Chains A and B, each alone.
Chain A
Amino acid sequence: MHIVVPIKQTPDTTAALTVDASGRISWGDAPLIVNPWDEFAIEESLRLKEKFGGKVTVITLGPESAKEALKQAVAMGCDEAILLHDPAFEGSDAVVTAAILAAAIRKLGAVDLVFMGKESVDGNSAQVPPALARRLGWPLLAYVGKIREVDPAGRTIVVERILEEGRQVVRAPLPAVLSAMQMNEPRYPSFMGIRKAARMQIQVWNAADLGLSPEQVGAAASAARWPAVFAPPRQEVQCEFIQGESPEEIARLLVDRLLAEKVL
Chain B
Amino acid sequence: MTIAPEAPAYTGPIAHLSREDVEQLGRELDAIRQDVLDTRGERDAAYIHKVIKVQRSLELGSRAILLGSIFPPAFVVGTVGLSIAKILDNMEIGHNIMHGQWDWMRDPKIHSSVWEWDNASTSEGWKHSHNELHHTYTNIVGKDNDLGWGIMRVDEEQRWTPASLAQPLMNFLNMCIFEYGIAAYDLELGKMRRLKKSGRDMPEGWHEMARNTVKKIRRQAFKDYVAHPLLSMATLSGPTTLVANLTANFVRNVWTHSVIMCGHFPEGVETFELKDIPENETRGEWYVRQMLGSANISGSKFLHLMSGNLSHQIEHHIFPDLPSNRYAEIAPKVRALFDKYGLNYHSAPMPQQVASAWHKVLRLSLPNGFLESTNVRNAPKQFGKLIKAVRGDTRTRRRLLKEFEAAGAASVGKAV
B partners with A: no
